[in-house]
Copies of this chain bind each other. A is one copy, B any other.
Amino acid sequence: MRVASQVGPGPETRTPLSRERVLRAAVKIADEGGIGSLTMRRLADDLGSEAMSLYYHVAKKDDVLDGMVEILATEINEVVDRLAAPAAGAGWKKAVRERILSARGVLLRHPWAPGVLESRTSVNPAVLRYFDGLLGMLRAGGFSYDQAHHAMHALGSRALGFTQELFTPAGPTPPGNIAAGNTAAPGPAAVPDEQLAGQFPHLAAMLMEIAHDNPDATLGWCDDQTEFEFGLDLILDGLDRLRGQA
How many chain A residues touch B (Cβ–Cβ < 8 Å)? 65
> Across the interface, do B227 and A128 meet the contact criterion of CB distance under 8 Å?
no
Question: In residues 182-213 of chain A, which contact B (Cβ within 8 Å)?
Answer: 185-187, 189-191, 195, 199-203, 205-206, 209-210
* A45 part of interface (Cβ distance < 8 Å): no
A181 → B minimal CB distance (Å): 12
> Across the interface, do A149 and B239 meet the contact criterion of CB distance under 8 Å?
no
User: What copy number does this chain have within its complex?
Assistant: 2
Partner of A136, one of B154, B187, B202, B238: B202
Complex formed: what's the CA distance from A118 to B115 in Å? 9
Partner of A117, one of B135, B166, B221, B222: B166
> Across the interface, do B203 and A131 meet the contact criterion of CB distance under 8 Å?
yes
On chain B, the residues within 8 Å of A187 by CB distance are 121
Binding site for B on A (CB under 8 A): 115, 117-123, 125, 127-129, 131-133, 135-136, 139, 145-146, 148-150, 153-157, 159-160, 162-167, 169, 185-187, 189-191, 195, 199-203, 205-206, 209-210, 217-218, 221-222, 227, 230-231, 234-235, 237-239
